[in-house]
Each structure stands twice: as C-alpha cells, then as structure tokens.
Structure 1
Amino acid sequence: MEWRVGPQTSAAAESVPAGPEPLSYNQELHLSSARAAQVAGLPGNPWVGASFELEGAFRADALGHAFESWLRRHDALRGGFRCAGPGVERFTVPADEVFLVQDEAVAFAAADELHAYLGRRFAEGTDPFAWPPLVMGAISRDSSTTVFVAMDHVAADGYSLALAVWELQTTYEAHLQGALPELPETGGFLEYCAAERDFGARISADDPAVGAWRDLVRKCGGTAPTFPLDLGVEAGRTWPQRVYNRCLLRPAETDAFAAACKDSGGSVFAGLLACMALAVRAMTGNEEFRTVTPLHTRSRPQWRPAMGWFITCAPLSFSLEGVQSFAEALERAQLSVQGAVRLAHHPALRMIELLGNEFRITRRDLFSMVSFTDYRKMPGADRHAESNPVTIGRVTEADDSHVWLSRQHDGLHISIRHPDAPVAADVLDEYTRLIRDAATRVLLGSDPLLAPVATFAGA
C-alpha cells in the first residue's frame, strides 16, 4: 500500500507562488542535468531511498500519520521545482496544507512482480519536477511489515535516509501509544541553501580552498579524478551500472584494524585509503592516489536533524612514493583526510565554477569519489538489528565508478557502483582482495609494505 498527497494538497502545490530561497549548488546542477536529460529522452532521475522493518501487528493509520508528520516537519520534503524559462524556480507547500491519502492496497502473487512494480513506481514517482518527488508506502505480510520511501536526490542525502528511518519509526510507535514523538527541534534546508549561497558568493578565485581543487585538477590533467583502475570502459561510452558489494572485515577484525590505525595516528577511513592506494599500486604500479570524498555540511545544530542534501565534496590526494612502512602511508592518507575536512564548508561546485576554463568535463560522471560512513553513529543505530534499515538507489548508466566504504555493526563493507563492462567484476574482485589482504596484515600486526602482496596479472 502507498500514501500520496490528497487533492487539497496537490491544489496547494499548483497554486503556491515561487519562493525567494535559492537552490543549493547541488540542487542547481542536479536539476539542470535532470531537465537536460528529460529534453534528450535519457534515463531519468537518480532517486535514493530506504526501507526498514516494523515489529508487531501493522497499523496503517499510524504509518499514515507518521508519513504526514514527516512531510510537515521538513521543508526539504515540501519543496518543489518548476521550470521557469531557462532556469528553475523553487516553491514550498505550507506545512498546514499537507494531507495524505492512503491508496487501496494491491496484492502481489510473486516477489518478482512486486520488485518490478516498485521499480516502476520509484522511477515514475520521484520526478523532481512533479511534486512531491517522493514514493512512500509499506509491504504488509502476515508476519512482518516493510516500510519504504524513495525520493529524488534533490531532497535528501545519505544521512537524511537514516534520519528518515529513525523519525518514521519513532513517530509510528508514539502514535500507537497515543503519545507525541520525542524528536529534536529542527531547522530548515531552505535556511541552509541561503547560507550556502551567501558564503559561496564571498569566495574568490584566490581562496586556498580553490587552490586545493586547482592542484588536484592540474594533477589530473585539467579534469577531476577517475577511478584508478581500468574497467574496460571506452572513452565516450556509458555502460549499465552494477553495484558490487563485499564485506572487507568482520566485527572483531574491524575493531583490531581500527585499533592498529589509531595506534599509528590514523582513522579507519585513512587506513582504508592507504590500503586502497597499496592495492592500486600493486595492480597498476601507480604511486599516486587521487579521488574526491563527500563531506556533510550540517555545521549548525538545527541542521543535524533536518532532511536535505547537506553535502559537499573535497579533494583527497596523496602519494606512496618513497614510503617505507604502512605507518608512513597511513600518515599521508590521514593528512589528506584532514585537508579535505578543512574544506567541508566550501561548496565543491562553487570551487569548480571559480576554476573557469582550468577545469573541463570529460565524461558523464563529474568525478569518481570515495565515501566513508560509520553507520553505528547514525540515528537509530541502537535498533539496527530489529529494524534492519537498508538504503536503496536507482541503478542507471555510467562511465565512471564510485566507492562507498561503511563501518556497520557487522564489520567493514565496500560498495562500488560501476559501469558493468565485461572485465569489471574480475578487476574489482582482485582490487577488494588486495585491500582486504593489506588490512588483514595491518590488524595482525605485520606490515603490507614489508610483506608485499602479489601484483595483479590483469584481466
């Protein structure tokens, strides 16, 4: 079953005037790309989403209340977009105009039928130019219930998805008990957009943050970093995407790896980056490791519990040339991470804008990235086992790869969204094997540089 906005709310969305708040830098690029894709008839919006499990007898009224309260609480979810001449204007539906209606439940005889239906609904229902770009509902079975939400990326980042799971679950359970949910006061994403634009306008081309981007771009030949391994993707060609998931380390191994990194003055993220750099060197001989990493921008307390796209990106670059031990590699990776964190308040797209013709776009994916998230610190992490939260996203086409590293209750994981070229899986199998091998040597107290792994023979 699903919940949608009612007729009164749809009418309010159609009549509400454009607001004065600017688009964030991410939203501007995202929406201009979405508009261009629609005009060209290309595959559409990269939606993001999440699901989680509810325990006990399912109450549809309580979940409908939770969804409605969630939309009213967050202006990022009540925000919509209209094409206005060559640009895009924003509007926001007032909270007191948001009312949901429950669709009639649909029964499915087989899981593949349900999956196909949801795939279509998520693609059709998350159009950023059709408010709300949001699909929300539940899969009710005799013994369990799965709640799902999917939305265009314009309204949420990865942290927002974890926040949504926790908030919907909290509000649902409070309604069952006839109580008000205990939720922190939240600020608005619109406030953030205005603050980001104000700060961005005051950044000049000689700002040190722009210099950090300029240095990375020059090292990459005038463009952004690409995935460091050859997956067999020809220049100018895109491939259907595939998501490659592997567990790198189990919980006890992760704890030992974290302790070893800490003893050498580094974080888990820096340790993994060092292992990745060693794996790249073993496979290619390249001593340089260059990528981009996303960073959250929830710098004010009121933005921590807010839905929205609070993300920038920053350069990560270090060299293994001359390193004699893993501790040295870790130190270089850690310094690169620290440098990236210092740029967390600088909108990446403003940095690229200020580079002007020093930067050129050479492929569909603007850059390859490596992300790290510790899900044990997310809202609701203490209930992970019972709620089983899962993040989901649309798989389309791509010409580059992106890496998500995550520390979870069951260990360290790597997820790589990549073009599904014929040799890609073999290359990524070897890459993850080498990363795990290096990390395992570290947690066991040996040094990957003193006991090198075998070089990759190629696919």
Structure 2
Amino acid sequence: MDFLQILDAPIQPGGLVEWIPAVPGGLGSWSRDVRETSHNHEEHLRSAFEYRALTHREGGRESWLGLAIEFDEPMSVPSVRSALVAYINRHEVLRTHVVLKADRDARYRTERYTTEPDTVRVKMARIGWYTETPLLLEQIAGSFDRATAPLHWPAYRFATVARPDSFTLFFAADHSLVDGYSLVNAHHELSELYRAAREGRPPALEPTGSYLDFSDAQRRAADVADPEHRAVRTWAEFVARFGGRLPPNPLLTPGRAGPAEEGTGPVQLARTRLLLDDAGATRFEAFCAASGASPVGGILGAMAVAFRETSGADDFAVIMPRHTRTDRSWLHSLGWFVGLAPLVIDVSDDPTPAEASRRSTAELSASRHGSELPFLRVADLIGVTGSPHTVVSYMDTRGAPRAQAADDGAARVLRSHSYADDEVYVWVNRTPGGLRMHARYPAETAGDVPVFLDRFADLLARTAEAG
C-alpha cells in the first residue's frame, strides 16, 4: 500500500461529493464522558490551541492522515451512506469530542463529551465535476485541511469521487483519532461495510474495542508513573547523551527557512519510492537473519551506515514510533495507539552493514521500554521541551486483510502536506510487494537529507543483491 502526500495521489477525476457527519442538536445533546483523555491527544490539542492563539487561524493544522479506496463499479449512494454511518457507529472515537481548557497560568484540563451509536448522520454535499486531477486534489486537500481541525467536531471527513464505472472513497481524520494501523484496517472495514450494504447482508467484521477505554486506562497508569519508571529512565539516558535536549538532525542546513507560507511555517518536500520488490526484500531479510539481526534492525542498520557516510556523525539518533495495541481487543480499533522510543546507534567506527544491523537490533530491544509511557508524560517528568527532529517508522502490513489488493492499487494511505524546517520523517513499510519508503523533509533547509535517502536506498539494493 502506497503512503502518499495527497497532492501526489493518482486519483482519476470525476464528480466530487463530501459526506459530512452531523448530530441533530449539535454537541449540546451529547453526554459528559468521565473517561480520561490520552496524553497523546492532550499534547496534540495543546499544540493546536497554542497555534490558533498565535496565528488566529481556525482551520486545520495539516496534521491529518487519510485513505483512498478504489471501487471498480458504479457508486451506490445509499450503500455509501449506510457504510459511513455503520463505520461511525463501529468506532466510538468518531462519536466523541475533547474540549481543552486553559486557565490564566496556562494549566490545561480536558473535558470529554460522547454521543451514542445511531445518533450521527452524514450529509451529502455535491461539490462539482472535475476533469483535471490536480484541481480535484487541491479541492479535496483544502477541504480536509479545514475539516480536520482537532479543536472542533467532527475532526474527520469523508468524500467520494464518482465516475460512470468506478468511484473512489476518501476518509481523512486528525491524527488524534487515527494512526497508520487504523488506516490499514480501515481499507478492509470500509470496503466490507459498503459491499455488505450493497448486497443486503450483515458485514463480516471482527468485534473491536473502544479507543476511549484504552485512553482512559493509559492515562490513569501514566499519571501515577514517577521518574523511576523504566520509560522515563530510557528517555533520560537518551537526552543526557545530547546535553539534556532532543538531538537536532545534522543533515539539515542550520538556520530557519524563509518566510512562513500563510502563517503556517516552512513547507516540506515528499519522496516516495519502492526500495525493494518482494524478492529483493526476501533476500534482504535472509541477509538480516544470517547476520543475527531482525529485518527492522537491518533497515535501521542500513540507515545508520548511510547516515555516517553522509554526515560523518558518530551517532545515528532517531525516535521510533511503536504501537501500543498490547491487547487483542485493540487490534481492529480506530485510534492513536502509538508510543515513542528513542534509540542511538554507534557508527563511530564505520561498521559494516551486518554489524550495524546487529547493533540496531540490540538497541531496538534495549530502548523498547521508552514507548511504555506517552512522550508528553515523560517530557513533564524529565523537563524536556520540543518535539522530535528525526523520526523513523516501520510497519509490516502483509498480515492485514486485503493487503495484496491494496498493493495492487485498491487503496492508498494519504497524509496532509506538512510545514516544518527541522523535522525529517522516514516511513518504511513492508508490504506484499516489497519494501516501500516515504519521507518528508524541509524544502529550504534540506541540506544532505536527499543524499542520505539515496545512499540508504542504494545500500539496501546492494545488500539485497549481494546477500
């Protein structure tokens, strides 16, 4: 499954319709929900609140994730409506809203409100017929940017683009509501809900837990954690290595970029490519096993070697998202089930790819505890401010329903465009078709990031070929 910035998605033009969730009576008819808000969600709302106060912009913050699903048949309007309502009923996170409040001393508190199943409807709004893909995607991207503002409900939106013999179904949501695994699952769920509605049968879907229950349990456990928690110790050791702060990325050109675009910040570039086909990825995995490394360790090892060759730095320091779906009940849940773990790979002695892969595998095991507490809670306990500058994510989607169909073009994960002059994100996904990479990095302060990405891709290819 491709992971694309929305403006790069190969969507055929057609008739655009937006499907807008609404509840009669508005939020005034919702019930106060005593379940606690996750630290991830609160941190996200804090950032959005401060951003709005600074820029006076009420729209979205370009922090949404989404999905485009292709259907090779004429669109049934009643079936789409039925599928969307069923999806909202299935996932309680789409029927809840968290209000962030701040006092004069900038102390925050949250209040959650939730509405019952079968109370949300979707309104159909016909936007128009598009004959050019770029204009269509600009319209959809702009609409999603505005509709997914995390301080408002709904912070998500659906859309369809219909053609005589096919249609595309879009779903976009603020990051506080979804993560990457959520969207991989959403491909199967939305497809099945649509086909079940079309065929007049019950959907064949596994039961799912509520992200609200997970958030409540995680929040209560994290709030009683102290500086002796192993996640806190892991992070404290990491930042101590870099003078008590999150390490900057030495590949970037120092200094801030030019004027902000419409008050948002410096724009980021995107790069997407197939690193290895399935046969090549299988050979690379065999190399990792023979080297005493895991496939993820092998990927990080290749990155570390490429990083050393490009920057000359002694350490490859990154933050790695790790999923927190620790119970089977969360397996099919929609939500933000992600923790962050720091890791440092020593490359000062110019290790071979095999040695770097072994070191990365060991570091992955040693640092895994860092993701056991949300980063906001850790940051409060150790006194660190700011956000990570270098993030590397890995996800294996081969076990997901309809994974092969997605790889063949039936679905694509989408993201909004981003603004930052000090962030480098690299996503590597193992799919039935091989290893895919998606990256984003600053346009004006990119420095040697493109060189690093090319060297990483080339090293993977050479290693897979040589074994």
Q: Which position in structure 2 is the counterpart of 1:450?
A: none
CA–CA distance in structure 2, aligned partners of residues 181 and 27 of structure 1: 30
The alignment status of 1:197 with 2:223, answered yes or no, reads: no
Specify whether residues 331 and 310 from structure 1 end up closer, same or farther in structure 2 by C-alpha distance, changes over 3 A only.
same
The alignment status of 1:74 with 2:91, answered yes or no, reads: yes
CA–CA distance in structure 1, aligned partners of residues 161 and 31 of structure 2: 36
Residue identity over aligned pairs, in percent, reads: 28
Partner residue of 1:65 out of 73, 82, 107: 82
**Mapping 1:355-394, distance limit 5 Å:** 355-356=382-383, 359-361=384-386, 365-385=387-407, 388-394=410-416
Q: Which position in structure 1 is the counterpart of 2:298?
A: 271
* Paired letter, 1:66: A
CA–CA distance in structure 2, aligned partners of residues 114 and 241 of structure 1: 21
Partner residue of 2:236 out of 198, 214, 224: 214
The Cα of 1:206 is off from its aligned counterpart by 1.7
CA–CA distance in structure 2, aligned partners of residues 401 and 295 of structure 1: 17
**Contact 1:12 / 1:97 at 8 angstroms: preserved in 2?**
no
CA–CA distance in structure 1, aligned partners of residues 209 and 446 of structure 2: 47
Q: Which position in structure 1 is the counterpart of 2:172?
A: 150
> Tell me, what secondary structure is at the counterpart of 1:58?
coil
Q: Which position in structure 2 is the counterpart of 1:130?
A: 152
CA–CA distance in structure 1, aligned partners of residues 52 and 24 of structure 2: 23
**1:155-191 CA-partner distances (Å, limit 9, x unpaired):** 1111111112210001111112211011111111111
CA–CA distance in structure 1, aligned partners of residues 29 and 100 of structure 2: 15
* Paired letter, 1:429: P
**Mapping 1:308-327, distance limit 5 Å:** 308-322=335-349, 325-327=352-354
Specify whether residues 91 and 236 from structure 1 end up closer, same or farther in structure 2 by C-alpha distance, changes over 3 A only.
farther
CA–CA distance in structure 2, aligned partners of residues 88 and 127 of structure 1: 17
Q: Which position in structure 2 is the counterpart of 1:433?
A: 454
**Mapping 1:11-410, distance limit 5 Å:** 11-41=25-55, 44-45=60-61, 46-86=63-103, 87-104=109-126, 106-231=128-253, 233-234=255-256, 239-322=266-349, 325-356=352-383, 359-361=384-386, 365-385=387-407, 388-399=410-421, 400-410=423-433
**Contact 2:21 / 2:157 at 8 angstroms: preserved in 1?**
no
The Cα of 1:235 is off from its aligned counterpart by 8.5
Q: Which position in structure 2 is the counterpart of 1:2?
A: 18
Q: Which position in structure 1 is the counterpart of 2:7?
A: none
The alignment status of 1:414 with 2:437, answered yes or no, reads: yes
Specify whether residues 342 and 154 from structure 1 end up closer, same or farther in structure 2 by C-alpha distance, changes over 3 A only.
same
**1:106-129 CA-partner distances (Å, limit 9, x unpaired):** 222432332221122101111222
**Contact 2:37 / 2:98 at 8 angstroms: preserved in 1?**
no
CA–CA distance in structure 2, aligned partners of residues 324 and 129 of structure 1: 47
Worse-matched range after superposition: 247-256 or 132-141: 247-256
> Tell me, what secondary structure is at the counterpart of 2:99?
strand
* Paired letter, 1:37: Y
> Tell me, what secondary structure is at the counterpart of 2:129?
coil
Higher strand share: 2
**Contact 1:209 / 1:343 at 8 angstroms: preserved in 2?**
yes
**1:416-451 CA-partner distances (Å, limit 9, x unpaired):** 211111654xx33321232133223322346xxxxx
CA–CA distance in structure 1, aligned partners of residues 229 and 441 of structure 2: 34
The Cα of 1:337 is off from its aligned counterpart by 1.3
**1:258-305 CA-partner distances (Å, limit 9, x unpaired):** 111012221222111111111111122212111110011111111111
* Paired letter, 1:79: T
The Cα of 1:12 is off from its aligned counterpart by 4.6
Report the TM-score, using the length of structure 2 for normalisation.
0.88
Q: Which position in structure 1 is the counterpart of 2:6?
A: none
> Tell me, what secondary structure is at the counterpart of 1:377?
coil
> Tell me, what secondary structure is at the counterpart of 1:390?
strand
Structure 2: which 5+ residue stretches go unaligned? 1-16, 104-108, 260-264
CA–CA distance in structure 1, aligned partners of residues 309 and 352 of structure 2: 15
> Tell me, what secondary structure is at the counterpart of 2:429?
strand
**Contact 2:319 / 2:340 at 8 angstroms: preserved in 1?**
yes
The Cα of 1:100 is off from its aligned counterpart by 2.1
Report the TM-score, using the length of structure 1 for normalisation.
0.89
* Paired letter, 1:151: A
> Tell me, what secondary structure is at the counterpart of 1:23?
coil
Structure 1: which 5+ residue stretches go unaligned? 447-459
* Paired letter, 1:420: A
CA–CA distance in structure 1, aligned partners of residues 237 and 247 of structure 2: 12
CA–CA distance in structure 2, aligned partners of residues 108 and 246 of structure 1: 28
**Contact 1:233 / 1:421 at 8 angstroms: preserved in 2?**
no
CA–CA distance in structure 1, aligned partners of residues 392 and 446 of structure 2: 21
CA–CA distance in structure 2, aligned partners of residues 421 and 409 of structure 1: 35
CA–CA distance in structure 2, aligned partners of residues 373 and 231 of structure 1: 29
Specify whether residues 186 and 120 from structure 1 end up closer, same or farther in structure 2 by C-alpha distance, changes over 3 A only.
same
CA–CA distance in structure 2, aligned partners of residues 306 and 66 of structure 1: 17
**Contact 1:270 / 1:330 at 8 angstroms: preserved in 2?**
yes
The Cα of 1:251 is off from its aligned counterpart by 2.4
CA–CA distance in structure 1, aligned partners of residues 319 and 446 of structure 2: 24
